[in-house]
Amino acid sequence: MSKDFTKLHQFLHQESVLTLSTHDNEGDWSAPVLYVADTVQDPFALYFLSSTNSRHVKALAEGDRAAASIYSDYTGQWQSICGVQMQVRISVLNEAETAKAQRVYFDRFPEIKALINDPKTKQEQLIGAAFGKSFFYRADPSFVRFINNSDSFAGRAEWYFT
């Protein structure tokens, strides 16, 4: 198990959608969210913005653990299959952490910041208002499987974190 996170970190920075999988009394649920990776953290942290009324966040009240995945688009070449499967612990950010997350998140997604701060249409106003009431969350990995077929067919690296 290599401690070299270089390719994993590059992948996390080039992708933008994290799928969170949770479980509640209605069953299993998965939800895509925009994320930004903080690879200065060891090994990394993922920040995302979500509503406290969303099913995936409500399910976290029953337990802070979730499964998560990130995959690149398939290009028609088997070598292009690349993705991450994870077990993560989710936490809502405090004020100090939120300031940092906002900075990196809105640098990555200025269009979301514009929806919140300067909506142009009625629909954008509604979307911006929903985002404005949302909170930042952090996903910290406890297990990561990185699949990268450009290294080899079914090429993978796995890491466990405490």
- Tell me: the pLDDT tens digits for 77-117? 888 889 999 999 999 999 999 999 999 999 999 999 998 99
138 touches 94 (CB < 8 A): no
The angle at the Cα of 70, spanning 67 to 74, to the nearest 5 degrees, equals 135
pLDDT of the residue at 2? 59
- Residue 44 domain-assigned? yes
- Residue 78 domain-assigned? yes
In the chain, the number of structural domains is 1
The one-letter amino acid code at 119 reads: P
- Residue 32 domain-assigned? yes
- Residue 24 domain-assigned? yes
- Residue 42 domain-assigned? yes
- Residue 15 domain-assigned? yes
Q: State which residues form the domain around 155.
A: 6-48+55-93+136-160
Q: What is the average per-residue pLDDT within 48-65?
A: 88
Cα distances from 124 to residues 29, 47, 121, 138, in angstroms, run 27, 23, 5, 26
For residue 76, give the CATH number of its domain.
2.30.110.10
- Residue 124 domain-assigned? no
> Can you read off the two tokens belonging to residue 128?
């911006």
- If you count them, how many residues does the chain have? 162
DSSP structure string for 116-143: HH---SHHHHHHHHHHHT-EEEEEEEEE
- Residue 59 domain-assigned? yes
Q: What pTM value is reported for the model? A: 0.90
User: Could you read off the pLDDT of 131-156 as tens digits, one per residue?
Assistant: 888 999 999 999 999 998 877 776 78
